[in-house]
């Protein structure tokens, strides 16, 4: 499809098919650009309200990964014809609750019938055209920060297998419904130019996209990575979604481990995430300001590594 849309024909398209970024970006004028994205998926939890909240936070995250502020959203839904209207209503209510929290207005949408429920959003945002994030903006010396823990995939898979503890699921849900708004805003104020959000391709997959687009390597300290404590429990039983094994098969050739990790811990690095955190490359001179502002805004973050010359990811 890319051969039909030559980037040279549309210089206003700052991010599109030719780049691996999380959303499309269209330049409106010298100062402003429009950010557009869409995402939807099948339920990852049983509670319809929580499902709606998670799906909305996930859709909004791609806008935050570009440094943008969302302002408009459209619902996308596919529901079985015999689904109780009260259930679909709770899904939409969950999505609307999170959209309002983000400062975005839901202005409509589209739904169809399907055997398995699916829900998500089209989201539009605005960004400073001169300061937007991209996956290609990381520089050697930048420090890497992650804003949510890992482990959502193994925990939600435990739910599907009816093996999850209620308190473990509740903790995962509390993170998945959390917006990446503060990290995006503070990152913009602190000179961040490279970011992505961690979703289905796992921490390693999305970190590699950032490294490859920027023409750099990443050095990551495994012990610094935040992981939900319960995730280690389910990982030790090898309760992973199928996508984790697909991710490992595709991305592992580009990863180097300076020491051998237990197999289950290695798999956590390939665990698909739903509504995961942002991975931001923060210029070293702004790290103290970034951490202070995140703490002041009660927005968690973990420094997990640094950008280096080279390619791929090295885990220490």
Q: What does the pLDDT look like over 91-117, one tens digit per residue?
A: 999 999 999 999 999 999 999 999 999
Question: H-type helices in 190-283, by residue range?
Answer: 202-214, 229-236, 242-251, 263-268
> What per-residue confidence (pLDDT) applies to 162?
97
Mean pLDDT, to the nearest integer, of 278-294?
98
Domain with CATH 3.90.650.10 in the chain: 143-315
Average pLDDT, the chain: 97
Evaluate whether 244 touches 302 at the Cβ level (below 8 Å): no
Say what the alpha-carbon torsion angle 263, 158, 93, 89 is, to the nearest 10 degrees. 140
> What per-residue confidence (pLDDT) applies to 20?
87
How far is 276 from 66, CA to CA, in rounded Å? Answer: 15
> What per-residue confidence (pLDDT) applies to 243?
97
- Taking the domain 143-315, which CATH number applies? 3.90.650.10
> What per-residue confidence (pLDDT) applies to 1?
63
Mean pLDDT, to the nearest integer, of 258-282?
97
- pLDDT of 3 over the 90 cut: no
pLDDT class for 224, splitting at 50, 70, 90? very high
259: Cβ contacts below 8 Å, ≥ 6 apart? 316
Q: What percent of the chain has pLDDT over 70?
A: 99
Task: Tell whether domain 2-128 is in CATH 3.30.1330.10.
Answer: yes
Mean pLDDT, to the nearest integer, of 128-141?
97
> What per-residue confidence (pLDDT) applies to 8?
77
Helices 48-64 + 166-176 axis angle, to 10: 40
How far is 244 from 271, CA to CA, in rounded Å? Answer: 5
> What per-residue confidence (pLDDT) applies to 2?
64
Q: Look up tokens 């509670």; give the residue.
A: 47
How far is 305 from 219, CA to CA, in rounded Å? Answer: 5
112 versus 2: the higher-pLDDT residue is 112
Per-residue pLDDT tens digits for 184-211: 999 999 999 999 999 999 999 999 999 9
How far is 240 from 208, CA to CA, in rounded Å? Answer: 21
Around 199, how many Cα atoms within 13 Å sit in the side-chain half-sphere? 20
Domain with CATH 3.30.1330.10 in the chain: 2-128
> What per-residue confidence (pLDDT) applies to 6?
80
10 versus 78: the higher-pLDDT residue is 78
> Sheet of 278-282: strands edge to edge?
194-197, 278-282, 143-146, 302-308, 217-220, 313-315, 255-257
Per-residue pLDDT tens digits for 41-78: 999 999 999 999 999 999 999 999 999 999 999 999 99
> What per-residue confidence (pLDDT) applies to 23?
95
């Amino acid at each position: 499809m890319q051969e039909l849309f030559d980037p040279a024909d549309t210089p206003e398209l700052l991010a599109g098919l030719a780049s691996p970024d999380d959303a499309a970006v269209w330049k409106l004028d010298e100062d402003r650009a429009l950010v557009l994205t869409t995402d939807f998926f099948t339920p990852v939890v049983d509670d319809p309200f929580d499902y709606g909240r998670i799906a909305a936070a996930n859709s909004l995250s791609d806008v935050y990964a570009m440094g943008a502020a969302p302002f408009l959203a459209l619902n996308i839904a596919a529901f079985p014809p015999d689904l109780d209207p009260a259930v679909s209503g709770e899904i939409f209510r969950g999505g609307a609750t999170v959209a309002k929290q983000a400062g975005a207005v839901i202005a409509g949408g589209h739904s169809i019938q399907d055997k398995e429920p699916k829900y998500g959003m089209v989201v539009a945002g605005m960004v400073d055209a001169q300061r937007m994030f991209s996956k290609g903006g990381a520089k050697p010396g930048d420090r890497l920060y992650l804003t949510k823990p890992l482990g959502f995939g193994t925990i939600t898979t435990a739910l599907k297998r009816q093996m999850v503890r209620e308190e473990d699921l509740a903790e995962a849900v509390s993170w998945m419904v959390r917006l990446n708004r503060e990290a995006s805003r503070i990152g913009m104020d602190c000179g961040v130019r490279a970011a992505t959000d961690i979703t289905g391709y796992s921490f390693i997959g999305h970190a590699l996209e950032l490294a490859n687009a920027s023409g750099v390597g990443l050095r990551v300290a495994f012990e610094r990575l935040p992981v939900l404590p319960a995730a280690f429990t389910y990982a030790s039983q090898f309760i992973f979604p199928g996508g984790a094994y697909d991710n490992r098969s595709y991305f592992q050739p580009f990863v180097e481990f300076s020491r051998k990790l237990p197999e289950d811990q290695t798999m956590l690095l390939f665990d698909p995430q739903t509504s995961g955190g942002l991975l931001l490359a923060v210029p070293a001179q702004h790290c103290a300001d970034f951490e202070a502002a995140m703490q002041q805004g009660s927005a968690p973050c973990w420094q997990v590594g640094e950008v280096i010359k080279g390619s791929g990811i090295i885990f220490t």
